[in-house]
Amino acid sequence: MKDQFGREVNYLRLSITDNCNLRCIYCMPKDFENNNENNNLTIDEYFETVKIFSKLGIKKVRITGGEPLVRKGINELVKKIHTIPEIEEIAITTNGIFLEKYLDEFIENGVTALNISMDSINEENFEKITRGGNLIKVVNSLKKAKENKIKIKLNSVIIKGKNDHEIINLIKFALENKIDIRFIELMPIGCARYLKGMKSEEIIKLLEDDLNIKLEYEKNNLENKNEKRTGPAEYSKILGTDTRLGFISPLSSCFCDTCNRIRVTSDGKIIQCLYYRANIDLKEIFRNSKLNEDEIIKIVENEIYRKNRKHDFNNYEIKKEDREERIMSSIGG
């Protein structure tokens, strides 16, 4: 369906847990304690949520968190979502630590795409940024997924003084493994407000200005810098390879005019935009109201229609009354 600004909303990002096995420096405080999953929707309630959204034009579901693979019952949920005729694509965003354990069942139950977080390819630095992650496990999982023809994208958040020296090595890793890599601008949410990220234009300038990189850059001849968007990323294809460089630039190059997504948090809040607070609580509706399915669909339809025109991160300290204050893992970023 279309929202009030004429954007086709067909993509649901469904968070199924706030919890994570890691404590990435831009996502969670070091001492953050995992929440009781009893505060979240049940697997059946997540399934009911997807069914409701599918009746309103949602065709793609991305399961997120926290780290979705720590949530008990994720295989059951994926299997249930796969039975919904309107859902054409099931994707998962993961840190990859537990991926190898679940991969066979994901493939069997219709998962076709994975976004894997990788902010470093140096084992020591990877462990520092994630506060405990094992890079070898992630790489092994990634390679197994690729062998099974699952579409893979790497997500990298570049932070000055932490991993900005690894940009080229991250690109080389993507080239060697013939997968796409996307550089995501750090968003000022939660603990990320105290870090300094690199804007996409800074990364591009770094590629162009560094002599060694320029030679490689020219040799591979990036084309189509303005390739048409099908999501928030702007891609440049590297000729002669199967790899694309993507730049997700919510701050320096707002993609709100083409935003096609709606979010549901692990505890059932509908999020129109990462910046704004939620208005609708599906958990409350499911458990404490006597509304029938048609009535719930009407509530959700109205919330999608009212989707905000754009975020206001560039005025983050001004409009405090509207903004979402929870950390990124709690709103299913």
The predicted structure's pLDDT at residue 323? 47
Strand-pair partners of 197:
159
Mean pLDDT of the chain: 87
Query: Which of these CATH numbers, 3.40.50.12780, 3.30.70.2190, 3.40.190.10, 3.20.20.70, describes 11-330?
Result: 3.20.20.70
At 302, the amino acid letter reads N
Instruction: Please report which confidence band the pLDDT of residue 233 belongs to, taking 50, 70 and 90 as the band edges.
Output: confident
* Tokens linked to 270: 């509908």
Region of 96 please: left (phi>0), alpha (psi -120 to 50) or beta.
left
Q: Which of 106, 105, 128, 126 is nearest to 117 (CA)?
A: 126
Maximal C-alpha separation, the chain: 66
* Tokens linked to 319: 């409009």
* Angstrom distance (rounded) from CA 223 to CA 328: 33
Question: Above 80 in pLDDT, residue 216?
Answer: no
What is the rounded average pLDDT of the residues 182-195?
A: 86
- Rounded to 10°, the helix 135-147/99-108 angle is 20
Instruction: Please report which confidence band the pLDDT of residue 163 belongs to, taking 50, 70 and 90 as the band edges.
Output: very high
Q: Rounded to whole angstroms, what are the CA distances from 223 to 201, 227, 241, 247?
A: 16, 9, 12, 14
The predicted structure's pLDDT at residue 318? 44
DSSP state of 102: H
- Give the pLDDT confidence of 38-60 residue by residue, as tens digits: 899 999 999 999 999 999 999 99
Query: Which pTM was predicted?
Result: 0.88
Question: Above 50 in pLDDT, residue 218?
Answer: no
* Angstrom distance (rounded) from CA 138 to CA 122: 12
First to last CA, the chain: 22
- Rounded to 10°, the helix 293-305/43-54 angle is 70
* Angstrom distance (rounded) from CA 179 to CA 167: 15
What DSSP string runs through 139-200? HHHHHHHHHTT-EEEEEEE-BTTTTGGGHHHHHHHHHHHT-EEEEEPPP-SGGGGGS-BPPH
The predicted structure's pLDDT at residue 90? 98
* Tokens linked to 125: 């630095």
Task: Compute how many other C-beta atoms are within 10 angstroms of the C-beta atom of residue 117.
Answer: 22
